[in-house]
């Protein structure tokens, strides 16, 4: 069920033009294309955007300034920018059943910043998943604006089950009375109970912000529960499972629409990247098609098989499996820590991330199936991948041979044939 398509002749012509004008940079881009086509992309946050999405990104809308919103811009000549943004907004609202959508955030972090700006004042208390437990930088890292400007309290996952500790969430909410509760994670492999978070938020009079950066693509395809009916604001990225351009998006009810829009522009951004907005419109259209629902289901089916096969290889899979595209695992039972494992696997042509492991401070591995599934791989290939990872981590297969195996598999499922 490959969902990628050949790159069109226009793309090749553009590449040729770049090659003639700037061979140095063209060579770098060709090398990256080769890397993506000949190694296995297991980073949970990555995917292969379609040639249509890439075409919108490389369109002349990249040249257009369009500060403001459709019909109320600070620049002339915005008719087509307006049309593209209206289409993106309408498609996002229809896809997610939201009353309002803002498609301008440059990134997932920009979307979270705007959500906080819409609802909070500096110094407010916010309850979010702690960083060692899978929270994102924007959920209170001291190195990030979030930790600098707000007073974050972190909840965690249970040491035994790896599941969000609902008792702790409720207790911390009661004792700290946060202005907002954030649910969402970079590494949590299970569905979040949005109804639970809504109930706790209502009990303590807090806003509920869902950071669905990772899961929004599964939500679009009907393969994960939607936070939209529960959260005051949903933040998301458009480039992970959703398979659009790199960027962010915010969904909310009509009552917060104006505050959210003003929090994006003019509070935290000026001119939106209109080519990216157009590319988001393309991605929403693709995600509304039945083929995307089949894709999202296959992403989860693949992740479940991969998680089971990795456990059979001896890795300690967090929570014992996954409900989503994402798996976290501790390779320690194979005698290697997360950082060393990531390096060995990268050398063997299998690209994935490290992640924090809660309780104990060790580093683990985080991987996902969005990209491999876009390439058309299924459960059989997931077993092959797990077996290859296991052999590399145990040092049973020389790196060069493992790399050749990874390349053979990647080439059999070319992302852009
Ligand atoms: C939960 C969560 N929030 C926010 C972000 C930030 O997205 P970006 O890297 O586009 O700023 C990410 C990215 O991985 C994420 O996983």
CB of 157 closer than 8 Å to CB of 165:
yes
Q: Is residue 236 part of a domain?
A: yes
Q: Is residue 40 part of a domain?
A: no
For residue range 194-234, list pLDDT tens digits in order.
999 999 999 999 999 999 999 999 999 999 999 999 999 99
For residue range 22-72, list pLDDT tens digits in order.
999 999 999 999 999 999 999 999 999 999 999 999 999 999 999 999 999
Query: What is the best residue among 44, 105, 138, 276 to mutate for testing ligand 1's pocket, by most ligand atoms within 8 Å of CB?
Result: 138
Domain's final residue, options 287, 316, 341? 287
Same domain, 278 and 247: yes
Domain CATH code at residue 304: 3.90.1150.10
- Alpha-carbon torsion (366, 392, 295, 51), positive or negative: positive
Q: Is residue 245 part of a domain?
A: yes
Residues that are catalytic: 65, 67, 211, 237, 240, 246
Q: How many CB atoms lie within 10 A of CB 163?
A: 14
At residue 9 the predicted structure's pLDDT band, cuts being 50, 70 and 90, is confident
- Angle at which helices 338-347 and 399-412 pack, to 10 degrees? 70
Q: How many CB atoms lie within 10 A of CB 148?
A: 11
Same domain, 135 and 225: yes
Domain's final residue, options 263, 287, 311? 287
Report CA(244)–ligand 1 centroid distance (Å): 14
Same domain, 313 and 229: no
Same domain, 309 and 296: yes
Question: What is the pLDDT at residue 359?
Answer: 86
Q: Which residues pair with 236 in a beta bridge?
A: 249
Domain that holds residue 385: 290-412
Say how far apart CA 14 and CA 111 lie, in whole Å.
Answer: 32
The DSSP secondary-structure symbol of 392 reads H
Same domain, 316 and 279: no
Same domain, 203 and 265: yes
Say how far apart CA 229 and CA 414 lie, in whole Å.
Answer: 38
Report CA(379)–ligand 1 centroid distance (Å): 28
Same domain, 355 and 224: no
Same domain, 157 and 237: yes
Report CA(166)–ligand 1 centroid distance (Å): 23
Say how far apart CA 363 and CA 344 lie, in whole Å.
Answer: 15
Same domain, 121 and 246: yes
The DSSP secondary-structure symbol of 337 reads -
Q: Is residue 102 part of a domain?
A: yes
For residue range 319-335, list pLDDT tens digits in order.
999 999 999 999 999 99
Same domain, 176 and 128: yes
Query: What is the best residue among 106, 108, 111 to mutate for testing ligand 1's pocket, by most ligand atoms within 8 Å of CB?
Result: 108
Say how far apart CA 192 and CA 174 lie, in whole Å.
Answer: 20
Q: Is residue 17 part of a domain?
A: no
Ligand 1 near 186 CB (within 6 A): yes
Q: Which atom of ligand 1 is nearest to the CA of 185?
A: 1
Same domain, 184 and 164: yes
Domain CATH code at residue 242: 3.40.640.10
Scan for tokens 């259209």, then name that residue. Answer: 285
Q: Measured between alpha carbons, how far is residue 375 from residues 50, 223, 378 in Å?
A: 11, 19, 9
Q: Measured between alpha carbons, how far is residue 99 from residues 78, 95, 102, 108, 283 in Å?
A: 24, 11, 11, 20, 19
Average pLDDT of the residues in 174-200? 98
Give the count of domains, the chain: 2
pTM for the structure as a whole: 0.96
Domain's final residue, options 287, 304, 326? 287
């Amino acid at each position: 069920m490959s969902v990628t398509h050949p790159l069109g002749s226009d793309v090749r012509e553009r590449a040729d033009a770049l090659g003639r004008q700037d061979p140095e940079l063209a060579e770098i881009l060709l090398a990256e294309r080769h890397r993506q086509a000949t190694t296995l992309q297991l980073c949970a946050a990555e995917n292969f955007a379609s040639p249509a999405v890439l075409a919108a990104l490389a369109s002349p809308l990249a040249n257009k300034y369009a500060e403001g919103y459709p019909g109320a811009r600070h620049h002339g000549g915005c008719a087509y920018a307006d049309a593209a943004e209206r289409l993106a907004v309408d498609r996002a609202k229809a896809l997610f059943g939201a009353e309002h959508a803002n498609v301008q955030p440059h990134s997932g972090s920009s979307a979270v910043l705007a959500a906080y700006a819409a609802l909070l004042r500096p110094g407010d208390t916010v309850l979010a998943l702690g960083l060692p437990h899978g929270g994102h930088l924007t959920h209170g890292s001291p190195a990030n604006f979030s930790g600098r400007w707000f007073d974050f309290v972190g909840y965690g996952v249970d040491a035994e089950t790896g599941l969000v500790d609902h008792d702790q969430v409720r207790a911390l909410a009661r004792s700290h009375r946060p202005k907002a509760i954030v649910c969402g994670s970079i590494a949590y492999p299970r569905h979040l109970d949005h109804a639970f978070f809504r109930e706790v938020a209502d009990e303590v009079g807090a806003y509920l912000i869902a950071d669905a950066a990772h899961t929004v693509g599964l939500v679009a395809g009907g393969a994960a529960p939607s936070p939209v009916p529960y959260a005051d604001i949903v933040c998301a990225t458009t480039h992970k499972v959703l398979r659009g351009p790199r960027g962010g998006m915010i969904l909310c009810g009509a009552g917060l629409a104006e505050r959210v829009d003003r929090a994006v522009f003019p509070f935290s951004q000026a001119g939106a990247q209109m080519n990216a907005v157009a590319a988001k419109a393309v991605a929403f259209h693709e995600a509304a098609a039945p083929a995307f629902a089949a894709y999202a289901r296959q992403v989860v089916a693949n992740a479940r098989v991969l998680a089971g096969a990795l456990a059979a290889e001896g890795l300690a899979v967090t929570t014992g499996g996954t409900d989503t595209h994402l798996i976290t695992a501790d390779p320690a039972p194979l005698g290697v820590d997360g950082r060393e494992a990531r390096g060995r696997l990268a050398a063997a042509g299998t690209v994935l991330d490290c992640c924090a492991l809660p309780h104990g401070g060790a580093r683990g591995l985080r991987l996902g199936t969005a990209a491999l599934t876009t390439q058309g791989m299924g459960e059989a290939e997931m077993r092959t991948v797990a077996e290859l990872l296991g052999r590399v981590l145990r040092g049973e297969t020389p790196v060069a041979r493992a790399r050749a195996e990874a390349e053979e598999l990647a080439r059999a499922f070319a992302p852009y044939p």
